[in-house]
Structure 1
Amino acid sequence: MTAMRRSTVGTAARGGRVTVSTVAAAAGVSTATVSRVMNGSTTVAPDMVQRVRAAAAELGYRPNAAAQGLARGRTGTLSVLVPDLANPYFHDVLKGVTAAAGRSGYRMLVADSEEDPDDELGLSHELLRQTDGLILCSPRMPRHDLLTLADDSHAVVCANRLAADIDLPAVTIDAHAGMTSLCHHLARLGHRRVVYLSGPERSWSNQERRHALDRAAAFGLDAVAVACGATMADGHAAIDAALDHDPTAIVAFNDIVAFGALARLRERGVDVPAQVSIAGFDDIPFAAYAAPAITTVRNPKELLGRRSWLLLARALAGERGLEPEVLPPQLIVRDSTAAARDRGNL
């Protein structure tokens, strides 16, 4: 037996591939015993555990993580589905998920639905087949698809969407409060006619902001929604229709849309903020460096990612009926908003 172990170590030292069988031969145990030791089983005698680990260390053996996951019934991987990876907003959310999940030994798989709500359910099922759990980031899918997903898996968390009467844990940012604070800011500056460049129709955040706008008349705002979208090109394309309403202020669905809107306003010779104020949402890093710097509503993106992972971890541990968590936004006032001009001067 001793000769066999020396021979095995010598082969490994000469560059041979080290496998479970190699470690088993060196330690004088079965391959099943090596597998149990590497998977953390408590059914192996301590002296055998010591022999296996010593042989593995001497041979430089590293167990296959995927194989270990299959043996435990877990992959050690979570998935995140986002609607648009080109949007820097989601980069910060993913950063938060990665940091929090990494501390628990999890890796992350990311997929992009490319703003196609009808593709999200199929992508979700595919991701759940490959990973232990799924974080749906700002999902656009119809309600009946969310119901299907909730029935199919308890390992799903919604980040930034609340779905009443659907058993899906959720962490959201208070989009209604964010829009209300922005409307108060514009009203204090004397604005009355405001155009909202509306986001994707099935976006929960967009719906919440529109609900807040509907209530803005209570403090003097006449708000009009113009169909737009979530991209820079959408913002650029929507400005001509927005200006037809003679607004003194324009609120964009997100900062990316605000960038596109600023470009078109510049092309039309409209001074921001002297003639029209503009504001966005999310406070992506570039917003502070635009010309002018964009007034926006800061959403705690990394915190959203971290809290989503913690909620998913609880779901993976078997907890059910988890209460939703709502995170507060923060109004960030910069140079793109100013006192309202007299209407009719564009």
Structure 2
Amino acid sequence: MTDGNIIKYFNTIHKLGKPGPGRIKGSSVTIKKLAAILGLSHSTVSRALNGHPAISQSTRESVLQAAKKYGYIPNSAAQALRNATSGAFGVIIPDIQNDFFISVTNAIAREAGKRSWQMILAITEDHPDTEYHVLRRMMAASVDGIIIAPSANPLPETRELITRTHAVQLLRRHDGIQAPLIAIDDRYGISLATVHLRRLGHTRIGYIGSSTDLSTGFERLQGFLQHFSSAEQAALKDIIHIGPPQAEFGTAAFKRIMSVDHAPSALVLGSPRYAMGMLTAAKALRVRIPQDLSVVAYGLVPWGSLLDMQLTTVVLPEKEVTDACVDMIRHIMDSELTLTHDEFIRSTENQLFTPRLALGDSTGVNRSER
């Protein structure tokens, strides 16, 4: 599948994902709700939707118009998934600025192109309403399966829809979603960085990480905190900052960390997006790395080769995650899809891949706590 096709699919689903006029925002429309809206019985609406000959043409048309207006998705979509394949699958991610998501999506798209599958890509920007509407449209298109990086708070309707398809959670895990997981052991990855710095003699270590509302942010923070006692954690409160995975936040957080009376001798970055802003700010503040501050980045920094130094980095298992996603799509698309949702979950194991630490020039022995 070419990049142009990916963009075309994204544009299509992005437009379709927005609630149309008259639709019930954030609501999963059922036959009972349609019946209540139309003032008809549940059985009459059901028969009209199924083309029963006992239902008049005018009633049938009214029901179909209402179903279209309010975005009703028939439960038969789940049966269609089990009885036939559409040759299409969905990928739902929060953005296309994250290099990891881009790599995974490109690999899946290449596999789809080889096999003449149709890949429908949707971007949610982590908005639960958008997430629900793009998922609903994919379900209406009878996709054979979905890979989704869920938002922090998916709507109940989203969680219900996922039970009606073969879905896999990518990188992020939400306990309310019944779907297997393909992810990275984030807790272990940040633990590697923290242990490395402690072995170099650093005890006052700062941390900049992403929101703990997401499983990735929570696991990374726990990987950091687990190496400090309760008393040590309390002493580090002023140099631990949690926020969005954006360069601007990383820059602001770094400046706040370095402005405290007792600045840290080391810093762990919980996202590669923080690195550029942090290093630029360090240069402006004349903070030398690693002489004044040892730094470990989480995930490869795309422009890292342009630096005068090589960053000490937690290298993420990108290929392993990508291969697992491609294998999962092959499994979903190549199978006869005779499994129910529960059977699919029972037959599919969670896959958690391990990062590794790559030593560079940005960390060194702590010579004195400042």
- TM-score using structure 1 length: 0.70
Give unmatched runs, 5+ long, in structure 1. 1-71
For 1:3-152, list aligned pairs within 5 A.
74-130=85-141, 131-137=143-149, 139-142=151-154, 144=156, 147-151=159-163
Q: For residues 282 and 204 of structure 1, do their structure 2 counterparts lie closer, same or farther at Cα, with a shift above 3 Å needed?
A: same
1:257 corresponds to which of 267, 274, 282: 274
For 1:156-167, list aligned pairs within 5 A.
156-164=167-175, 166-167=177-178
Tell me how far 1:284 sits from its aligned partner: 4.2
Tell me how far 1:304 sits from its aligned partner: 1.4
Tell me how far 1:185 sits from its aligned partner: 0.7
Tell me how far 1:143 sits from its aligned partner: 7.9
The 8 Å contact of residues 278 and 337 in structure 1, kept in 2 or not, is answered as yes
**Which AA in structure 2 matches 1:137?**
A
RMSD: 2.9
1:185 corresponds to which of 190, 196, 203: 196
Distance 2:224 2:297 in 1: 14
Distance 1:287 1:93 in 2: 20
Structure 1 counterpart SS, 2:147: strand
**Which AA in structure 1 matches 2:173?**
L
Q: For residues 149 and 178 of structure 1, do their structure 2 counterparts lie closer, same or farther at Cα, with a shift above 3 Å needed?
A: farther
Tell me how far 1:77 sits from its aligned partner: 2.7
Tell me how far 1:254 sits from its aligned partner: 1.2
Deviations 1:52-90 (A, max 9, x none): xxxxxxxxxxxxxxxxxxxx9544232222222112222
The 8 Å contact of residues 137 and 159 in structure 1, kept in 2 or not, is answered as yes
The 8 Å contact of residues 76 and 106 in structure 1, kept in 2 or not, is answered as yes
- TM-score using structure 2 length: 0.65
1:339 aligns with 2:365: yes
Q: For residues 266 and 134 of structure 1, do their structure 2 counterparts lie closer, same or farther at Cα, with a shift above 3 Å needed?
A: same
The 8 Å contact of residues 255 and 283 in structure 1, kept in 2 or not, is answered as yes
Which position in structure 2 is the counterpart of 1:266?
283
Structure 2 counterpart SS, 1:178: helix
Distance 1:290 1:138 in 2: 34
Deviations 1:170-218 (A, max 9, x none): 1111111111111111111111111211203422111101112221116
What is the percent sequence identity of the aligned residues? Answer: 23
Give unmatched runs, 5+ long, in structure 2. 1-82
Distance 1:269 1:115 in 2: 36
Tell me how far 1:236 sits from its aligned partner: 1.4
Tell me how far 1:336 sits from its aligned partner: 1.7
